[in-house]
Structure formats: C-alpha cells, structure tokens
Amino acid sequence: MTSPLIARNSWSQAIGPAVGLLLTMVVLSLGFLSCSDSTSQGEPSAEWDGQKRNVVLISIDSLRRDHLGLYGHKPRYSAGIPVSPNLDALGAKGVVFDDAWTTTSWTLPSHMALMTGLSDRQHGVETDKFQLDPLRSTLAQRFQESGWNTAGYFSGPYLDPRYGFGRGFDDYRSGMLTQEAFLERIANENKKRAAANMEPMDQRLIQKLRDRMSHWDITSPRINQLGNDFLDEQSASGDKPFFLFLHYFDAHYDHIPDEAEEGLAKKFDPGYRGPFDGTNWYFDERVMEYEPPHRRLISGRDLEHVKALYDAEIHWVDRHVGEIVAKLKEKGLYENTIIMVISDHGDEFFDHGSIGHRSTLLAEQCRIPMVLSVPGVTPEGKRIPGISRIYDVAPTLLDFAGANGLAEAEGSSVREMIDGEAAPRTAFQRIFSGGHRKGSGLNVRDGWRSSRFTVLRQHRGDFDRETDQELFTTPMMIRSLGSSFYVFDRKEDPKEMRPLSPKDPRFKQAIDAFCLDFRAAEKASAQLPRSDHSVLTGMKLSAEEQAALAELGYADDGDTDGSGKVDLMAKTLAPLTEPCD
C-alpha cells in the first residue's frame, strides 16, 4: 500500500397562492439566525436525547443519484450485479432523501456548503481563487470545540486544506499520490518535452498536471486505510466521541474501473467490443465537437458503455463504503454512530447536450443522493419526499450527535422532516466559474428549486461580451424566450427538458417565488461579518505543489495559475449578485 502524502492543518416548498403564506414558508425554509458572532456556539438541539454519538460523514464525488439501486437504478448490461449493494443496504436501514440538492455542479463550493451549512453565496468560496473566511465556522471546528476527536481524509485536489477544509480536524490528510510519485511524473513529462525540443513544464502546467493526475489515480483503498486506522484508534481509546470525514473520488472521470480492479469493466458490460475504455473521457475528441456548438459525436452504444464503466466505478466505491460500515460493526461502534452519505454533485452524459459537470445547474448535475442512519433513532427504510439541501447536513449531524450547533447556518436539521413536521424547503444553486469548453467564457448562473418549480437564471454582462453567446453550453436552452430566466415545472417535467414560456402563468409564479427567496438570502448574506478581500483571496499553493515547485526551482508568486482572474472575479462579483429587480 502506498502511503499517502500527509497534508496536516494546524487550524485546531411548495409555492403557495398567497404572498403571506409564501413569505412564512420562505422564512421557515431558509432558517436564518442571528449572525452577530460567527464563532459563537449554538446549543444542542432541544430534541437531543442526551447521548453523544460518533459521526461518519461520507462524500462520494461526482455520484449521480439515479445510478444507485436505492433510487431505482438497474445496470443495463449486468443485471445480476447490483451497482450499489452497500449503499442500498444502508438506505434500507436508514432514511433516504428523495429530493436532495447540492449548491453547484463542482467540488469546491459544494463541499464548502457541506462543511459550513451555508449556500455558496453565503460561504463565499465560489472559485478556486478564494478560501473560507476565517470568520466562518466549520462542522469539524464545532465538533472539535464540543469535545469530539476529528479526522478527515480526502482524495481530490479541491479538498485541500488551503481552502479552509482542514479547520477543526485533529488529523486531515490527502489520500492522493505521494509527493515522490508526483515528482517522478513531472520528471517523466520533462524528459518527453526535452526529446521534442520543448521547454520544461512551467508552474502553470505543473499545477494542471496535479489536477489531471487525480483523474487517473485510484484512491479508495488509501482512504479506507486511513479511515480504518482512525477507527482502530478510537475503538482502543474510547475516551471521546469522534467525527470522521471520508471523501471518495474514484467515481469521478476518467472512467477507468480496470485500473482499480482488473476485469471490473467487463463485469458491467461483458459484450462490448468498441473502442472506448473511459480514458481521457472529458477531453476525448471522439466524444463531442469541442468547438461551438459542442456537437455530440459518440454513438449510442459507446455512450452506454461509458455509463457502464461509471457504474463499475460506483460499485468499486460502494465496496469501500461497505468496508467502513463493516469496520464500525467489527469494533462495536456501529450502534452509536451516525452515518451520512452524500454526493457533492452529479455528472452529465448528454442529458442536455454535453458531458461532465461544472457547466450547468440542471438536475443531472445538481440532484444528489442523501442517506442518513442514526441507529435506534431514525426509522428504518423511510423515504423523505420533500426538498433537502447539502447545506442541511452540518446542522443535522450536530443535532443528532448532541454537539453545539452552527449559529449562522443557513441550512437546518432534517429531524423535523423525518418526523413529518417540517415546513417545505427551497434550495439554492449557483455557478461562478470559468468556461470549461472553447468559447464558453465565464459561466455565471443562479438556480433555485421548490417542490414544484425549477428556476435557472443565466447572467450576461460586460464581463464577457465576445463569448456571451456561448455562455450556456446546452443547446436545449431556448434563447428566443427573451429572458435570462428558465423555468421548469418539476411535476410535469422532472428531467427539466421543456422550459416554460414566459407567457405561461406558471413562469411568473415561479420567478416571483424565486426572487422573494433570493432577496431574503441576499439580506442575510449582507449581515454576515466578512474579512477583508485580501484575506479571502490570499491563496497559497497546496503543500505538494509548494514542495514540488521548490524542488524544481520555481518561486511562489502568489497567483496559483498565473491567470490573474482574482481581479476579474472581484470586479464582477458585485453586479452579478444584485437581487431580482
């Protein structure tokens, strides 16, 4: 087993017909509390039964809810092999949330929402040029301050401590490739470049290589080794409750299950004889035309094979989740341990004309699985039909564990939803991202869901005049509607394929409800104390990047990719987040 690079951190609704009713629902769903002191500790829930519980929070990167058995998925070519037997079993013993939503369609902001109980606009880490404000508190900090032992093990570059994720963890480590392997890869790349009479890799290329290597790496075994070691320690000491965070990345593209286990791809598509093996999936020129208008090229059968590879990778991760559950039972910890499993976002397979994520806020990228098990407390096999949010997770875990709460959290515990007493909730989404396709430009959008409607707002502005026409990468978004808003009736169109006409009465009904929610959220956001902009954007390289660049003779100039986009983000942030008018 390759030992992981250690990166320690020392930071110890339904829309009602009457405005009055709707306003009441909005206030209840947003759950905004006093924000006079972001470090103040809330008291444990009044419903707490007095028992301090352990917590295991599992995040599975890039996992679509509709590829899990507990949400009805059956693999197309391997009917005898369930994709997610361990997660299915956990759902049968716990509570499954049927309408859970993340805040965005990429890893960094969604995980920050997971760890703070705040939507992306509130926590402020909307691009990789920002780190979490020191005035904000995290889930791990609250557990640590409440007396829990805390550990977190991650396997993707956007979970790096430099963004603020390490705060509150006694032990926070990477399960990615070791520093030695990273340097070896750089040396090999430079040899190839030298043979081609090219200059050695510069700082920007080295950092891009680190990101790409995470797509090829197989990390679940390392994450489990770290997690199991921690559980052994906790079982042996037994002096405090614990909080363990595990982040699995192997379901993320590239879709290369045979790198994890030889023959796994064939198990999920035994009859395939085509050319696709899942390597370089997001950038493969055989998949789609990357010049606008981004035309699909891959055949239907080849696409189904890639989906089967994705299923195989989910199966691989599911196996490792099962090992953690088995470890809890083996050590006698299971009955006093809360388990929450969630995804940060989904992935698109040409549902709306493209692939991957970080491009839209549509359902295949933002509707996520969410499972909660509190043995002896939560009912077995219960399904929750109402909206839940990724920013409800932190308040929920603190509530059921008996720890102090996050006083400024925008989300709220799902306990009342489980008891059937909660008011309907609405969910916010947002993207503030650079374009990932040629000609796609800066991608800025808002999203909002109620139990009835989806509202998507696409921002256009002076920030990107030349490529404005390509901001929306999905061809189904009809520009002739003459509006920056796109509205879907979720009851009639759950896959969000048919935007309503602005002439439809439902269009205005949905927009009005969205704007009411949005204004309330903006008002609450304005009340949060915030550090100076220079603190929020004073980004440093990750530990491995710093070490690699230092060894190769590069100096840290403070701009992690040399793009200078921090200034662009700072200039455009204010006008793009004005309330509805």
Q: Where are the domains of the chain?
A: 19-257+306-576
Q: Is the pLDDT of residue 520 over 60?
A: yes
User: For residue range 236-270, what is the model confidence (pLDDT) as tens digits?
Assistant: 998 899 999 999 999 999 999 999 999 999 999 99
Q: Which of 28-42, 222-236, 261-275, 541-555 has the lowest mean pLDDT?
A: 28-42
Confidence at residue 539, expressed as pLDDT on a 0 to 100 scale: 64
User: Quick one: DSSP state of residue 296?
Assistant: B
User: For residue range 28-82, what is the model confidence (pLDDT) as tens digits?
Assistant: 333 333 333 333 346 776 677 789 999 999 999 999 999 999 999 999 999 889 9
Share of the chain above pLDDT 70, in %: 80
The per-residue pLDDT of the chain, averaged, comes to 84
Distance CA 392, CA 398 (A): 10
For domain 19-257+306-576, give its CATH number from 2.60.40.10, 3.40.640.10, 3.10.580.10, 3.40.720.10.
3.40.720.10
Confidence at residue 290, expressed as pLDDT on a 0 to 100 scale: 84
Confidence at residue 88, expressed as pLDDT on a 0 to 100 scale: 98
DSSP 3-state assignment of 243? strand
Q: Is the pLDDT of residue 364 over 80?
A: yes
Helix orientation angle between 220-237 and 300-330, rounded to the nearest 10 degrees:
20
CA 190, distance to chain mean position in Å, is 33
Distance CA 250, CA 12 (A): 29
Confidence at residue 554, expressed as pLDDT on a 0 to 100 scale: 58
- Model-level pTM? 0.86
- Is the sign of the CA dihedral 497, 502, 505, 508 positive or negative? positive
CA 216, distance to chain mean position in Å, is 19
Confidence at residue 439, expressed as pLDDT on a 0 to 100 scale: 57
Q: Which residue has the tokens 């040899």?
A: 191
Q: Is the pLDDT of residue 7 over 60?
A: no
Distance CA 16, CA 4 (A): 52
Share of the chain above pLDDT 90, in %: 67
Q: Which of 45-49, 51-55, 310-314, 322-326 has the lowest mean pLDDT?
A: 45-49
Confidence at residue 533, expressed as pLDDT on a 0 to 100 scale: 86
**Cβ atoms within 10 Å of 200's Cβ, excluding its own:** 15
DSSP 3-state assignment of 471? coil
Q: Which of 118-127, 273-282, 457-466, 472-481 has the lowest mean pLDDT?
A: 472-481
Confidence at residue 464, expressed as pLDDT on a 0 to 100 scale: 40
Region 540-555: mean pLDDT is 64
Confidence at residue 161, expressed as pLDDT on a 0 to 100 scale: 95
Confidence at residue 129, expressed as pLDDT on a 0 to 100 scale: 86
Closest by CA position to 108, among listed 545, 542, 580: 542
Region 149-159: mean pLDDT is 96
Report residue 446 as tokens.
């808002």
Helix orientation angle between 85-93 and 300-330, rounded to the nearest 10 degrees:
60
Confidence at residue 493, expressed as pLDDT on a 0 to 100 scale: 97
Contacts 24+ apart (CB under 8 A), 374-379: 374/53, 374/94, 374/338, 374/400, 375/93, 375/334, 375/335, 375/336, 375/337, 376/335, 377/49, 378/94, 378/95, 378/418, 379/95, 379/418
Q: What type of residue is 224?
A: N
- The CA distances from residue 37 to 33, 74, 115, 528, in Å, are 11, 48, 18, 9
User: For residue range 10-43, what is the model confidence (pLDDT) as tens digits?
Assistant: 222 333 333 333 333 333 333 333 333 333 346 7
User: Quick one: DSSP state of residue 71?
Assistant: G
Report residue 476 as tokens.
């189904």
Distance CA 369, CA 100 (A): 6
Closest by CA position to 458, among listed 467, 476, 446: 446
Is the distance from CB of 210 to CB of 178 less than 8 angstroms? no
Confidence at residue 441, expressed as pLDDT on a 0 to 100 scale: 65
User: For residue range 123-140, what is the model confidence (pLDDT) as tens digits?
Assistant: 999 988 899 999 999 999
Q: Which of 23-37, 100-114, 132-146, 451-465 has the lowest mean pLDDT?
A: 23-37
**Cβ atoms within 10 Å of 293's Cβ, excluding its own:** 11
What single string gives the DSSP state of each residue in 201-224?
P-HHHHHHHHHHHHHH---HHHHH
Is the distance from CB of 105 to CB of 359 less than 8 angstroms? yes
Confidence at residue 549, expressed as pLDDT on a 0 to 100 scale: 64
Query: Binning pLDDT at 50, 70 and 90, where does residue 450 land?
Result: very high
CA 95, distance to chain mean position in Å, is 20
